[in-house]
Each structure stands twice: as structure tokens, then as C-alpha cells.
Amino acid sequence: MIDIKFLRENPDVVRQNIKNKFQDSKLPLVDEVIALDEELRQNKKRADDLRANRNKISKSIGALMGQKKFAEAEEAKKLVAEQAAELAKCEANEAELEEKVKSIMMVIPNIIDPTVPIGKDDSENVEVERFGEPVTPDFEVPYHTDIMERFSGIDLDSARRVAGNGFYYLMGDIARLHSAVISYARDFMIERGFTYCVPPFMIRSNVVTGVMSFAEMDAMMYKIEGEDLYLIGTSEHSMIGKFIDQIVPEAELPYTLTSYSPCFRKEKGAHGIEERGVYRIHQFEKQEMIVVCKPEDSPAWFEKLWKNTVDLFRTLDIPVRTLECCSGDLADLKVKSIDVEAWSPRQQKYFEVGSCSNLGDAQARRLKIRVKGEGGTYLAHTLNNTVVAPPRMLIAFLENNLNADGSVNIPVALRAYMGGKEKLVPTK
């Protein structure tokens, strides 16, 4: 959410930003919110004038009574009552106007970074850099669930009977590998100076609307019936929510946290859920990283965050690349975003395994996350990035470490988490 003062003073910048994000239907909102804001400010001025005048008249009543000017005192009392009634109307109108302004400001997209490429959707994202050499083996790489089934490592049929499509049972070595990757990612980030955290897996609606747009909320979040609680779609939601309505000392910044959580997503509009695969699912686990920092430090932290993910994948012998998300692919709160994609030997292409985002002060403005510095109080900047999100990441791991005989190599970095095993041998 952008600052209403910025919009008031730079309406053309806001309009161009809306055009750059290919959301022209939102252009009329700029003039609408400017008019509402002007009405709100005039209403506040009238209310302030009424309060000041009421106080002035109220003080005079005592003096009139002391001078035994009872008739004049009664007239003054009537005037106070009339102005009190008008003030009550102004206050009610003020609350209504504030809600209207807020509701519009919540859907006007954040101002994107000038370095973001302009494009309509993810098909126009721009490749930035590749890390590691993509390998095409001289044997056929099976579909990822077929690889898992050779290790008796997945049961989709039982999951479908229990919960429907988009769920899974991981078993044996594959389940252990899943947990090993999460544990390794946790320690990887701790060694890089991040504080480990296990957050709440449910959050209230005011946190949900503070960390994401309404469109994202509708497409992603599961609501708990009869409760003001939502299951988190990523631990970023509850981790940023940790600082809601807080004023933090500048000297404590940056906060660098890495968090584990299960994640739950409706995947609405995702063109269906695969019956066989675990690429797009309703439930998964993830290791996340978030940063709360000073505004001038957020660009540098953005670079550090996505590099952490690249480095982790390279220690697991998985080639990756980074993609700069274009304007039309950015969620409304994001200033800038880079996706990390892993190489799929089976598909002969890269696929997304993580996303790094700088949200500027958008989440901080909604959640009132403020910083107290020497020069006063200001809004923090927030960033987030995926460390690793199995089981999707397992697709890349299994394909890139698969041998012709069906066994799977365990990279050195992960062996301590797999009981010292150097290789997984299929049971089928």
C-alpha cells in the first residue's frame, strides 16, 4: 500500500505504475481516492473547528453564569448541543470516508522498482543468470512420482482417499530425504547468521490483509470456519505479522529470521491440481527467510537473500537460474522480485523452486511496523525469500542426482542428515 500523500502529490506516477502493471481498470481509482481524500481532509478540518469552538463556548458558559447572565448562558448551552450533534455527524462521516480511502488504497498497486522489466505476465520474465551446468543424461529420466515409487516413497492413492487430490503420503527414504532437506536448509541459514523460528501456523484476518493483496488472499488462503483465523500459505505471513503495530529500535535492525512451517494453499485458478505429481499441491513444508530492515538497506538485502537460495541448491548439485519478474507478474505489494528456478533433466527446462521479494514499506504501512531512529519514527522495509520448499524441490533433487541404475546420489552436504548414506537404492 502506497502513501496517500505520495499519491496526492504524484498522481501521474501512480497512474503510470498502474499502466506498467497492465491493470488499467484501476486507473479511475486514482481520481476517486483523491476526491475522497479531499473530502476527508475538509471533514476533519470542520470537526477540528467545531471542537475548538465548542471548547471556547463551554468556557464562556461558566463566566456568563458567574455574571448572572442566565439567558445568555442557556443560549450558549443550546449552541454547544447543536455543535456537538454536528460534530458527531462529522466524526461518523470521517470514519466512513477513512474506510473508503483505505479500501481503495489497498487495491492500488505498490510503486515498482525502476529496474523491473515491463511485461504482461510471467512469459515475459527475464533470465538474469545461470549457476551450474544443466546436464542431460544419456538415459531416460522417469516422472518424479515414478522415481519415488521405485523407493516405495510415495502413496498418492491413499492420500486421495483420505483428503483428495493435491495431497500425498511420503514414505521411507523419500520421507527421510524430505526432512533432511528441511533440516539442512535450517542449519544452512543459521550458519549465515539468521535466527531460527517456528511461527504460528494460523493468523488473524488483519495480519492476512497486512501481508498480501486481496487477490492473493482469495486465491490462496484457507479460512477456519467460525474463527477469525486463516491457515498460512507461507511462514512469511506470520513472521512479518510478528511485528504488527510495533515500534522497533533502529539499533536492533536488521531482523534476519529463518522459519519452518507447513504451508496450506487453495491454489485457486491454478488450472487444476495434478493427480500424479507433487509440484502443485494443497499442503507442503517450507524453510523461509525474512528480513526487516531500514529502507536504504533493502536493495542490498534483496541481493543477499536470493543468493542464499542459489548457494543452497548448488551445494546439492542442482543447476539453477534466476529470473527477474516483470511488472505484470508482480503481486500488488511487491517492489521487485526474482524467481529461482531449478533444472529439470526430464523436461529439459527450468521450473520455479523459490521466489525472493522486496516489498518496500507496503507491508509495514498496512501492519504499522515502525522504526524509532534519531531523526524520528519511520516505516521499515520487509523482504522474504524461499530457502527451500519440498516436496517440489525433491523433483529437482531426484532428477539431478539420479543414476542410470535407478539409484540416487546423496551430495556430501546432505549425508549427515541421511544417516551417512551416500546413495539411495531403489526397493523396486
CB-CB contact of 261 with 285 (8 Å): yes
Around Cβ 428, how many Cβ atoms within 10 Å? 8
Rg, C-alpha atoms of the chain: 28
Closest by Cα among 124, 123, 127, 118 to 21 = 118
All three cell numbers of 212: 498480501
Q: What pLDDT, on the 0 to 100 scale, is given for residue 318?
A: 97
Closest by Cα among 340, 333, 358 to 396 = 340
Q: What pLDDT, on the 0 to 100 scale, is given for residue 274?
A: 54
CB-CB contact of 358 with 349 (8 Å): no
Taking residues 119-142, what's their average pLDDT? 96
Taking residues 79-99, what's their average pLDDT? 88
Fold of 122-424: BirA Bifunctional Protein; domain 2 (3.30.930)
- pTM as predicted: 0.90
Cα separation, 273 vs 279, whole angstroms: 9
CB-CB contact of 385 with 357 (8 Å): yes
SS3 220: helix
The label of the residue with cell 548457494 reads: 311
Question: Residue 83: what are its φ and ψ, rounded to 5°?
Answer: -70, -30
Cα separation, 130 vs 318, whole angstroms: 11
Cα separation, 108 vs 26, whole angstroms: 7
Q: How far does CA 218 lie from the centroid of its chain?
A: 14
Superfamily of domain 4-105: Serine-tRNA synthetase, tRNA binding domain (1.10.287.40)
CB-CB contact of 171 with 153 (8 Å): yes
**Is 172 a residue whose pLDDT tops 70?**
yes
* Domain assignments of the chain as residue spans, ordered by start: 4-105, 122-424
Bigger pLDDT: 52 vs 96? 96
DSSP, residue by residue, 89-111: HHHHHHHHHHHHHHHHHTTSPPP
pLDDT in tens, 211-245: 998 778 888 899 999 999 999 999 999 999 999 99
Q: How many percent of the chain have pLDDT more than 90? A: 82
| Reported confidence tier of residue 104, pLDDT bands at 50, 70, 90 | very high
Closest by Cα among 279, 280, 272 to 399 = 279
Strand partners, 399: none
Closest by Cα among 302, 340, 339, 338 to 318 = 340
**Is 125 a residue whose pLDDT tops 90?**
yes
Q: How far does CA 234 lie from the centroid of its chain?
A: 8
Question: Residue 340: what are its φ and ψ, rounded to 5°?
Answer: -105, 125
| Reported confidence tier of residue 178, pLDDT bands at 50, 70, 90 | very high
24-33, 84-93, 114-123, 342-351: segment of lowest average pLDDT: 84-93
Bigger pLDDT: 214 vs 427? 427
| Reported confidence tier of residue 49, pLDDT bands at 50, 70, 90 | confident
All three cell numbers of 292: 526487516
Give Cβ neighbours of residue 144 (< 8 Å, ≥ 6 apart).
277, 278, 279, 346, 394, 395, 398, 399
Q: What pLDDT, on the 0 to 100 scale, is given for residue 215?
A: 78
Bigger pLDDT: 68 vs 12? 12
77-91, 153-167, 195-209, 380-394: segment of lowest average pLDDT: 77-91
Taking residues 402-408, what's their average pLDDT? 97
- Tell me the average pLDDT of the chain: 93
Bigger pLDDT: 77 vs 302? 302
Question: Residue 316: what are its φ and ψ, rounded to 5°?
Answer: -105, 15
132-146, 161-175, 206-220, 382-396: segment of lowest average pLDDT: 206-220
Q: What pLDDT, on the 0 to 100 scale, is given for residue 218?
A: 82
**Is 277 a residue whose pLDDT tops 90?**
no
Question: Residue 349: what are its φ and ψ, rounded to 5°?
Answer: -160, 170
Amino acid in the structure at residue 103: S
**Region class of 188: left (phi > 0), else alpha (psi between -120 and 50), else beta:** alpha
**Is 363 a residue whose pLDDT tops 60?**
yes
Q: What pLDDT, on the 0 to 100 scale, is given for residue 268?
A: 59
Give Cβ neighbours of residue 297 (< 8 Å, ≥ 6 apart).
253, 254, 381
| Reported confidence tier of residue 150, pLDDT bands at 50, 70, 90 | very high
Q: What pLDDT, on the 0 to 100 scale, is given for residue 229?
A: 96
Q: What pLDDT, on the 0 to 100 scale, is given for residue 84?
A: 84
Task: Provide the greatest CA pair distance for the chain.
Answer: 108
Q: What pLDDT, on the 0 to 100 scale, is given for residue 73?
A: 73
